[in-house]
Amino acid sequence: MKKNTNLRSLAALAVEQVLEQGQSLSNVLPAMQQKVADKDRALLQELSFGVLRTLSQLDWLVNKLMARPMTGKQRTVHYLIMVGFYQLLHTRIPPHAALAETVEGAVAIKRPQLKGLINGVLRQFQRNQEALLEEFAATESRFLHPAWLVKRIKKAYPQQWQSILDANNLRPPMWLRVNRNHHSRDEWLALLEQAGMKGFGHDAYPDAVRLETPAPVHALPGFEEGWVTVQDASAQGCMNYLLPKNGEAILDLCAAPGGKTTHILEVAPEASVMAVDVDEQRLSRVYENLKRLGMKADVKQGDGRYPSQWCGEQQFDRILLDAPCSATGVIRRHPDIKWLRRDRDIADLAQLQSEILDATWAHLKTGGTLVYATCSILPEENCEQISAFLKRTPDAALHETGSVERPGVQNLPAADEGDGFFYAKLIKQ
């Protein structure tokens, strides 16, 4: 059977699986990329991510230019036309090539009879592009976020909401973490320059490097040898508050894919680290990261709400709880979050976070440190969560992060900065 190797139709199918079946793009895309030549994988990724990043614009255009919506089995065509619009609006692909390849995609998804329709809609867009975009710019959809999320971000950040939405719509920078056991950051930056690339350090996070231009990992000096790891700057910020020490028993909870587990072991190679995650499949990534860096940790599958099931009565000197959250701080990396999350999810996640916090606190030694972190920007999951915890937990004290009125430190996404991220450092008295 002939493989479908039409990139545009594969991107349309990937987007369809996200929006119609609730799959995450990072789960769907690798299988699609297997179907195309190595040289085409980056473009397939760009088209799939790009359509989800600008979805409300593309969706508005399709609905505007079509007499009636494509439903049922024809729905893939709706997404294929979106892929066409995305190329015309947001890439440097020559318009004639974008058009021809997108129309040809109808054959790959076994809808050859609709080639004329697809061609007609795309050409109509080309003819009226300026007027259409002007009309779109006056709609609520122009923010490229669902209305419920815009409303929440506006309420939480009345001054900054627009810059947050803008940052979410950008392509993310590529941040790396230099393994201090091999090189200092400056030494590794010199190696990077020798390899013909340029990077910049972060003012607040001592191991963080932002690449001027994202690059494949195999091009990075010493990646296979464990000299460097891909990890966002804000995620690295956890170590500024956790401050792990050699000889301590440290729990990394909700640890997959293992970026923070390995960072703990880079800072404190003699620490005894337990890495726990509820998702068995994602734990394989923790093992891969440990193996590449030549490290050991006690890796376990377990639910954060029931610690006694996986650690018995054990007490820890330090706990890093990177709590399950809405991931609203990492939308630029995972644009599908905007369309997979629902408003009602936030209360459910806040409830889950508070249960995990309470259960985990019992396993922290007196005098020990717990760092609560999320990649969310929503107060319900962050400062309000910690505020409520402090009120109901007499032996918990906030340390160095925020104030009693507004506990914790909130990073917001910005062009050359880290992702949206929250930290609160708690000490058990």
Binding site, residues? 254-260, 277, 303, 322
Please list, in sequence order, all residues whose beta carbon lies within 8 angstroms of the beta carbon of residue 99, skipping any fewer than 6 positions away: 84, 88, 119, 122, 123
Helices (H) and strands (E) in the chain, counts: 18, 12
Q: Rounded to an integer, what distance in angstroms lies between the CA atom of residue 427 and that of residue 394?
A: 11
300-321 b/e with 16+ CB inside 10 Å = b?
Answer: eebebeebeebbeeeebbbbbb
Active site residue 375: yes
Determine how many CB atoms are found less than 10 A away from the CB of residue 409: 19
Q: Rounded to an integer, what distance in angstroms lies between the CA atom of residue 343 and that of residue 213?
A: 35
Kindly state the DSSP code that residue 402 receives in the 8-state scheme.
Answer: B
Tokens describing residue 139? 């709609």
* Catalytic residue from among 238, 311, 325, 375: 375
Write the CA distances from 40 to 47, 77, 85, 88, 411, integer angstroms.
11, 22, 19, 18, 35
Q: Using an 8 Å Cβ cutoff, are 232 and 239 in contact?
A: no
Determine how many CB atoms are found less than 10 A away from the CB of residue 410: 22
Q: Rounded to an integer, what distance in angstroms lies between the CA atom of residue 157 and that of residue 135?
A: 27
* Helix or strand (DSSP H, E) at 190: helix 185-194
Binding residues for S-adenosyl-L-methionine: 254-260, 277, 303, 322
- Active-site residues, by number, are 375
